[in-house]
Amino acid sequence: MTRPRVFIHTHMSLDGKIVGAYLPTEVGVASQRQYYELVLGPDRAFDRHKGWLCGRVSSDDNFTHYRTPDLDEAASPVPDGDFITVADAPMYYFSVDPSGVLAWETNSITYFETTAHVVEILSGRASNAYKDFLRRKGVSYIVAGGNQLDLEEAVRKIGEIFGVQEIMLGGGGSLNWSFIRAGLCDEVSIVMTPAADGTKGAQTLFEANERYATPLPTAFKLKGMKPLADGSIWLRYDVIGPIPKAGG
Ligand X SMILES: NC(=O)c1ccc[n+]([C@@H]2O[C@H](COP(=O)([O-])OP(=O)(O)OC[C@H]3O[C@@H](n4cnc5c(N)ncnc54)[C@H](OP(=O)(O)O)[C@@H]3O)[C@@H](O)[C@H]2O)c1
Q: Which residue's CB is nearer to ligand X, number 89 or number 169?
A: 169
Angle at 21 between CA 238 and CA 92, to 5 degrees: 50
Q: How far is the CB of 76 from ligand X (least distance, A)?
A: 26
Neighbouring C-beta atoms of residue 197, cutoff 10 Å: 16
Contacting residues for 132 by C-beta, under 8 A, at least 6 apart: 71, 72, 75, 76, 78
Q: Which residue's CB is nearer to ligand X, number 140 or number 176?
A: 176
Q: Which residue's CB is nearer to ligand X, number 4 or number 171?
A: 171
Q: Which residues pair with 92 in a beta bridge?
A: 51, 117
**What phi and psi values does residue 110 have, to the nearest 5 degrees?**
-125, 135
Q: Which residue's CB is nearer to ligand X, number 148 or number 163?
A: 148
CA neighbor of 83 nearest in space, from 125, 130, 119, 128: 119
The residue number whose beta carbon is nearest to ligand X equals 172
Q: How far is the CB of 125 from ligand X (least distance, A)?
A: 10
Q: How far is the CB of 172 from ligand X (least distance, A)?
A: 2
Q: Which residue's CB is nearer to ligand X, number 68 or number 76?
A: 68
- Contact footprint for ligand X (CB under 6 A): 10-12, 18-19, 54-58, 61-62, 96, 98-99, 101, 149, 151, 170-175, 178, 203, 207, 209, 212-213
Q: State which amino acid sits at residue 58.
A: S
Q: How far is the CB of 169 from ligand X (least distance, A)?
A: 9
Instruction: Return the H-helix or E-strand segment holding 225.
Output: strand 218-227
Q: Which residue's CB is nearer to ligand X, number 14 or number 87?
A: 14
Contact 167, 5 (CB under 8 A): yes
Q: How far is the CB of 145 from ligand X (least distance, A)?
A: 9
Q: How far is the CB of 101 from ligand X (least distance, A)?
A: 6
Contacting residues for 16 by C-beta, under 8 A, at least 6 apart: 204, 205
